[in-house]
Amino acid sequence: MKPVINKTLSISVFSGKGGVGKSSLCANLGFCLSEIGARCLLMDCDLGLANLDVLLGVTTGANLYDLLRADTDAQNIILPIAKGLDLIPAASGIPELVEMDEDQRALLLEKLQPLLKTYDFLILDMAAGLNPTVLSLAHATFKRILVLTPEPTSLTDAYAMVKVLSSKNKKRDFLILVNQVQNREEAQNTFARLDNAVSKFLGFHLVYLGMVREDDNMGLAVLRQQALIQIAPQSMAAKDIKNIAQRIHTLRTALLPELSGMPVLKNF
């Protein structure tokens, strides 16, 4: 039998502090990637407070947890959002993924993997802070994006996340996205402060992925339950997100040889 070659880049998007823009960024990155021709699947992993469906203005039916039922397969829980963009919604109040026993998690992955392989990107929108789900899913994806803002508390919480993930999961490859900045200088200063602390106390360097400027259109998009890219494609934040999507697209191309033969999500 011909081996199945995986070409899907899985990325978890997380933060220390809440409300820094993860879900808005995931939704818009998904749109941008699909606009440049990539097939993208968003997975809402904020099991406590699912909100990608609300941000994208879609009504959800089945969710991840329904996959544990014999009569539900992965196709049943996918919601089409746009051409090349799909969503797996979460649902508030469902048990933590890691509270499932090993057999349940294995069943979930077994049902998801064939479907995940049909996408170029799998983007996981996580809950803020550290919980067991975040820890295990951050480990399961091929790449990790850490979102922070220039606020001092966001910076210290981001450092705490890097510290725990690097010691527990032995991960050292963090892509840093600085959101809600006034300009490039503020983004680079914020990155430098975090990177200096990480290199001094943890002994490795972070990778700067990019910045997204503070933009009132972002709030407007949330109110309208539409992606910023749709309602204000020429806005500052939309332009910044497009740049980041392009970078992620290029990154996947560079990683293709490494992705071959790897599962989209490692056992978690």
Ligand X SMILES: Nc1ncnc2c1ncn2[C@@H]1O[C@H](COP(=O)(O)OP(=O)(O)OP(=O)(O)O)[C@@H](O)[C@H]1O
**Span from 19-27, 30-38, 82-90, 143-151 in contact with Mg ion (CB under 5 A):** 19-27
Is 28 near Mg ion (CB under 5 A)? Answer: no
Enumerate binding residues for ligand X (CB under 6 A).
15, 18-24, 46, 128, 179-180, 212, 214-215, 218-219, 222, 237
Tell me the closest approach of the beta carbon of residue 163 to ligand X, in angstroms: 19
Give the nearer residue to ligand X in terms of CB position, either 27 or 264.
Answer: 27
Q: How far is the CB of 93 from ligand X (least distance, A)?
A: 16
Residue 62 CB partners (closer than 8 Å, separation 6+): 72, 76, 77
Binding segment for Mg ion (CB under 5 A), chosen from 14-22, 75-83, 85-93, 182-190, is 14-22
Asked if 136 interacts with Mg ion (CB under 5 A), we say: no
Q: Applying CB under 5 A, does 15 fall inside the site for Mg ion?
A: no
80 binds, among Mg ion, ligand X, none (CB under 5 to 8 A by kind): none
Helix (H, G, I), strand (E, B) or coil at 30: helix
- Number of alpha helices (DSSP H) and beta strands (DSSP E) in the chain: 9, 8
Closest distance of CB 149 from ligand X, Å: 8
CA distances from residue 138 to 14, 65, 103 in whole angstroms, order as listed: 8, 19, 20
Q: Find the distance separating the first CA and the last CA of the chain, reported in whole Å.
A: 27
* Closer residue to ligand X, CB minimum distance, 128 or 227: 128
User: Token match 């699947």: residue?
Assistant: 41
- Please tell me the distance from the alpha carbon of residue 26 to that of residue 28, in angstroms, as a whole number: 6
In the complex, minimum distance from the CB of residue 69 to ligand X, in angstroms, rounded to a whole number: 27
Q: Which residue has the tokens 């949330």?
A: 222
The identity of residue 104, as a single letter, is: Q
C-alpha 215/C-alpha 175 separation (Å) is: 22
| Number of residues engaging Mg ion in binding (CB under 5 A) | 2
Q: Single out the residue of 81, 21, 20 nearest to residue 56, CA to CA.
A: 81
Chosen from ligand X, Mg ion, none, partner binding at 35 (C-beta under 5 to 8 Å by type): none
Residue ranges in contact with Mg ion by CB under 5 A: 22-23
